[in-house]
Structure 1
Amino acid sequence: MITGIEHTGIMVTNMEKSLSFYTEILGLNLLDRFDHTSVPVELAFLGLDEKVLVELISGYPGEVTNEGKVHHLAFSVTNIEEKFEILKEKGVQLKDKEITELPNGKYFFFYGPDEESLEFFERK
């Protein structure tokens, strides 16, 4: 039985740049980081408290391609207008130039360091 989402894995080209983005800009905590023993890749697990939300994968054989990335990763937020302004101030590339409102909440998309599509969503 499925009880929830464990985490979302994202292929990255530069682990340090991605760690900086996800921790310093988005505010996630680095929970664990190590080299995979059977595949030559480095893994970093980020989240809130002890709950892993994102796994960054660096060094996988072959290039990181758009097909190899997750379509988008959505984070639940409060005060989405403030988050929108903070990302603009920090120079984060915004995909959406304004916040979109839906019947169940508000959202906007922006890009991570490897042009991965990220979303902030505030539920009503």
Structure 2
Amino acid sequence: MIKGLYETHVQVSNLENAITFYTKVLGLKLAHRDGTRPIAFLWVGEGKEFMLGLWEQKENLQTRHFAFTSTTEDILKYSVEFLENKDLQPYNFLKDGSVQPMVFAWMPALAIYFNDPDGNQLEFISILEGDGKPELGVLSYEEWMKQTQEI
């Protein structure tokens, strides 16, 4: 029955600002804005593949986490520059001050994080080839490549 995850929703403090961020900064496309409630829906990807819902919440805002699928090449070569050019602060899972993408060895997957204006934790992620190696934990891509080539 389940073939994937189609949509997710996040709370935002200001719908107008959130629409601007997700469309102008990240490049998503506005799909629909509900005229009766402070809600907007955005297309993620091409051909209505995925959807992101933005729900304005003025009080008790609860931040969430979700990840955008990306390619390994884009994450390694362009993600940090892309984010910094948009005045967004990239960070890795370890939050150790480095802006270099990290590998979750159990999956394995390469990822880099950043926040939206409301503090929702966003991520660019790419599944890497090969089997997971949970014993390696979270490590740099360079270390992942070294570890997996030695095996």
Name the TM-score class by shorter chain: 0.7 to 0.9
Task: Give the conservation status (yes or no) of the 8 Å contact 1:25–1:87.
Answer: no
* Aligned residue identity for 2:90: L
Q: Per-residue CA shift, 1:43-96, capped at 9, x if unaligned? A: 1111233234210011x4x5042xx332x1101112113022110121113343
- Relative contact order higher in (CA < 8 Å, ≥ 6 apart): 1
**How many residue pairs align between the two structures?**
115
CA radius of gyration, larger in: 2
- When normalised by structure 1's length, the TM-score is 0.80
Greater share of residues in helix: 2
Paired with 2:9 and 2:115, the residues of 1 have a C-alpha distance of 16
* Aligned residue identity for 2:66: L
Question: Which of 109, 113, 116 is equivalent to 1:112?
Answer: 116
Structure 1 stretches (4+) deviating beyond 4 angstroms? Answer: none
Q: Per-residue CA shift, 1:27-48, capped at 9, x if unaligned? A: 2111111134xxxx31111123
For structure 2, list consecutive stretches of 5 or more residues without a partner in the other structure.
93-98, 129-151
The residue that corresponds to 1:54 in the other structure is: 52
* Aligned residue identity for 1:54: L
Paired with 2:116 and 2:60, the residues of 1 have a C-alpha distance of 14
Task: Answer with 88-97 or 18-27: which moved more.
Answer: 88-97
Give me the identity figure in percent. Answer: 30
Alpha-carbon offset, residue 114 of structure 1: 0.3
For structure 1, list consecutive stretches of 5 or more residues without a partner in the other structure.
none
